[in-house]
């Protein structure tokens, strides 16, 4: 399609076999004015919008419209919508016309009513519980919005548009789907009949500006000494497991740790929905695939992790360990792929190690418990615990190393912890990060090999860190 010039309009996207709406209509009875009530998106508003949208679809070639830039496409839609409003004798103010135009443009080129929420960078999560109930999370707090879809059919159309962009589908035969938006935001859809009150859509927003450890220090998520310790762990190629509950900031913390991987290393990431933002030049990103309509063609996380071993990785990063792939990840960590990392859901470092063991057992591996624990001890060096506090703030509450075994019990040692001391008058959690005062952690020799032992000693010398801000970080 030729580019638009200052003298010429963008390529006309109207279908040639349809009479353009700009031509004077034949004489016909004048329809009564349609009153549009913008406030609260009344049924009259949706009726009017539906009439105008139907006329627009008949008058414009949507396949050609998508080839135009956003501004040119919006101008084209504006002209046709204005003509339709005039022909149908719709009574609207300028503000109401702009509101209707925004709605129609979002329906055609975007994600409908979700567009204004996706444009806000302060929103961490968008939770749609049916067509008329949308919640958002900002600053760690969940609140209901006044935004709504016209009906569940419109919401389902938006869900199908989102998942189809990554080659997936959601319908009655496949009502659960994980996907992602083009910007990397993570999406989960569960549709009727499993979701009783209409489709449930959850979006974990992707931050345009990736958080760094320095920013986490400024927010009080960790102290400067704790940040230095995490940097050394990343640079020294320790095998790291990041543990935490839902929304605690595990993926953000994983992104922060990967920033200290050397740029010459070959990194392979395995995720259900690709959302990691690694900055190194030599990165291969892998993503799982659900089965097709016949129930075939599924590629699981375990398939990806096993295949990684044939791709000459130097580090393997697993977005979330949630099943039998835990066994393959431990094998990779124990066979020359030092510095590999992964996340899982658990509420403490010890619980994280127990969950690893249970995941392997539930995967059908008939290994003795002691053998599994020995494999965990020889594979995992450090567990970093991220916690979302009850005031919405995020804290790194434990940096714990795996020491070894005594009998059949795994022995761990806290290197850095967060002590909660209470709350202020506004309900904000007060506490301090501090070193546990150990002399030399187990990974001291590894740090020494990479020339980091002096920084490690300085970071551990601080027995207690000062109190920090209670802002939400991760």
Q: Which two tokens stand for residue 397?
A: 């509450």
179, 204, 229: which is the final residue of a domain? 204
Rounded mean pLDDT, 380-390? 93
102 and 126 together in one domain: no
Say yes or no to pLDDT of 215 above 80: yes
CB–CB of 308/315 below 8 Å?
A: no
Q: Which residues pair with 136 in a beta bridge?
A: 126, 143
Say yes or no to pLDDT of 312 above 80: yes
Rounded mean pLDDT, 262-280? 87
Counting beta carbons within 10 angstroms of the beta carbon of residue 89, is it exposed (0 to 12), middle (13 to 18) or buried (19 or more)? exposed
- CATH number of the domain where residue 133 is located: 3.30.450.370
Say yes or no to pLDDT of 384 above 90: yes
pLDDT band at 383 (very low <50, low <70, confident <90, very high): very high
136 and 276 together in one domain: no
DSSP letters of 352-413?
A: HHHHHHHHHHHTT----HHHHHHHHHHH--EEEEEEE-TTS-EEEEEEEEEEEEETTEEEEE
- Give residue 464's Cα distance to chain centre: 34
160 and 199 together in one domain: yes
**Residue 176 in domain:** yes
Q: What is the pLDDT of residue 94?
A: 74
Q: Identify which of 239, 446, 447 has the alpha carbon closest to the alpha carbon of residue 340.
A: 239
Q: What is the pLDDT of residue 34?
A: 40
- 162-214 tens-digit pLDDT: 888 888 888 888 899 888 888 888 899 999 999 998 999 999 987 776 788 88
Q: What is the pLDDT of residue 422?
A: 83
**Residue 65 in domain:** yes
pLDDT band at 286 (very low <50, low <70, confident <90, very high): very high
236 and 381 together in one domain: yes
**Residue 474 in domain:** no
Interatomic CA distance for residues 273 and 250, integer angstroms: 15
**Residue 471 in domain:** no
**Residue 75 in domain:** yes
Rounded mean pLDDT, 385-406? 91
DSSP letters of 65-123?
A: HTTS-HHHHHHHHHHHHHHHHHHTTEE--HHHHHHHHHHHHHHHHS-GGGHHHHT-TTE
Q: How far is CA 108 from CA 51, 60, 151, 158, in A?
A: 15, 12, 16, 10
227 and 196 together in one domain: no
Q: 253 or 89, which is more confident?
A: 253
CB–CB of 330/286 below 8 Å?
A: no
139 and 25 together in one domain: no
Rounded mean pLDDT, 52-66? 69
**Residue 466 in domain:** no
Residue 336 lies in domain? 213-461
Q: What percent of the chain has pLDDT over 90?
A: 31
Give 3-state DSSP helix, strand, coil % of the chain, rounded to 5.
35, 20, 45
Interatomic CA distance for residues 207 and 124, integer angstroms: 8
Q: What is the pLDDT of residue 42?
A: 66
- Give residue 407's Cα distance to chain centre: 41
45 and 159 together in one domain: no
Number of domains in the chain: 3
- 91-148 tens-digit pLDDT: 777 777 777 777 777 777 778 888 889 888 889 899 999 999 999 998 778 899 988 8
77, 109, 141: which is the final residue of a domain? 109
Q: Identify which of 113, 144, 115 has the alpha carbon closest to the alpha carbon of residue 49.
A: 113
Rounded mean pLDDT, 397-423? 92
Q: What is the pLDDT of residue 191?
A: 93
423 and 302 together in one domain: yes
Say yes or no to pLDDT of 243 above 90: yes
- CATH number of the domain where residue 384 is located: 3.40.50.300
Rounded mean pLDDT, 281-296? 85
Rounded mean pLDDT, 286-298? 83
Q: Which two tokens stand for residue 361?
A: 């057992």
0.75 exceeded by pTM: no
CB–CB of 412/438 below 8 Å?
A: no
Q: What is the pLDDT of residue 239?
A: 94
Q: What is the pLDDT of residue 65?
A: 65
246 and 120 together in one domain: no
- 3-43 tens-digit pLDDT: 444 444 444 444 444 444 444 444 444 444 443 333 356 66
255 and 300 together in one domain: yes
Q: Which two tokens stand for residue 431?
A: 């506490």
Q: 157 or 474, which is more confident?
A: 157
Neighbour count for residue 116 (Cβ, 10 Å): 13
224 and 305 together in one domain: yes
Q: Which residues of 429-450 are buried (b: 16+ CB within 10 A; e: fewer)?
A: bebebbbeeeeebbbbebbeee
Q: Is the peptide bond before 193 cis (omega within 30 degrees of 0)?
A: yes
**Residue 472 in domain:** no
Rounded mean pLDDT, 243-270? 90
Q: What percent of the chain has pLDDT over 70?
A: 85
Q: Identify which of 206, 228, 232, 233 has the alpha carbon closest to the alpha carbon of residue 217.
A: 228
87, 109, 131: which is the final residue of a domain? 109
Mean pLDDT of the chain: 81
**Residue 469 in domain:** no
268 and 373 together in one domain: yes
Q: What is the pLDDT of residue 348?
A: 94
């Amino acid at each position: 399609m030729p580019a638009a010039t200052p003298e010429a309009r963008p390529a006309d996207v109207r279908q040639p076999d349809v009479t353009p709406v700009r031509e004077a209509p034949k004489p016909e009875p004048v329809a009564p004015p349609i009153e549009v009530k913008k406030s609260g998106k009344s049924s009259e508003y949706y009726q009017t919008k539906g009439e105008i949208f139907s006329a627009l679809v008949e008058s414009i070639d949507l396949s050609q419209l998508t080839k135009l830039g956003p501004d040119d496409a919006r101008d084209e839609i504006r002209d046709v919508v204005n003509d339709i409003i005039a022909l149908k004798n719709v009574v609207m103010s300028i503000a109401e016309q702009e509101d209707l135009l925004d709605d129609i443009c979002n329906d055609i080129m975007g994600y409908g009513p979700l567009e204004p929420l996706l444009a806000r960078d302060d929103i961490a999560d968008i939770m749609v519980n049916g067509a008329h109930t949308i919640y958002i999370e900002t600053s760690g707090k969940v609140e209901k919005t006044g935004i709504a879809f016209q009906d569940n059919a419109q919401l389902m159309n938006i869900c199908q548009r989102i998942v189809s962009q990554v080659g997936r589908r959601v319908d009655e035969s496949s009502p659960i789907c994980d996907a992602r938006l083009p910007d990397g935001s993570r999406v989960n859809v569960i549709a009727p009949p499993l979701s009783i009150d209409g489709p449930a859509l959850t979006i974990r927003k992707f931050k345009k500006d990736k958080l760094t450890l320095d920013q986490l220090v400024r927010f009080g998520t960790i102290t400067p000494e704790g940040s230095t310790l995490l940097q050394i762990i990343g640079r020294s190629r320790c095998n790291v497991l990041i543990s935490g509950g839902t929304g605690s900031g595990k993926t953000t913390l994983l992104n922060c740790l990967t920033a200290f991987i050397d740029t010459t290393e070959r990194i392979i990431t395995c995720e259900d929905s690709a959302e990691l933002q690694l900055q190194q030049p030599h990165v291969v990103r892998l993503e799982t695939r659900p089965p097709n309509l016949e129930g075939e063609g599924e590629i699981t996380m375990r398939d990806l992790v096993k295949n990684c071993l044939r791709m000459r990785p130097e580090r393997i990063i697993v977005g979330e360990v949630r099943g039998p792939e835990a066994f393959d990840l431990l094998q990779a960590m124990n066979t020359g792929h030092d510095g590999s990392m992964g996340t899982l859901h658990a509420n403490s470092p010890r619980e994280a190690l127990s969950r690893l063991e249970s995941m392997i057992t539930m995967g059908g591996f008939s290994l003795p418990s002691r053998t599994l624990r020995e494999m965990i001890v020889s594979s995992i060096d450090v567990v970093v615990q991220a916690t979302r506090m009850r005031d919405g703030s995020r804290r790194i509450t434990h940096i714990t190393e795996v020491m070894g075994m005594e009998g059949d019990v795994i022995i761990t040692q806290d290197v850095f912890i967060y002590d909660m001391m209470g709350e202020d008058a506004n309900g904000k959690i007060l506490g301090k990060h501090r070193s546990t005062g150990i002399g030399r952690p187990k990974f001291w020799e590894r740090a020494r090999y990479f020339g980091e032992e002096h920084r490690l000693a300085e970071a551990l010398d601080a027995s207690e860190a000062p109190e920090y801000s209670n802002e939400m970080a991760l």
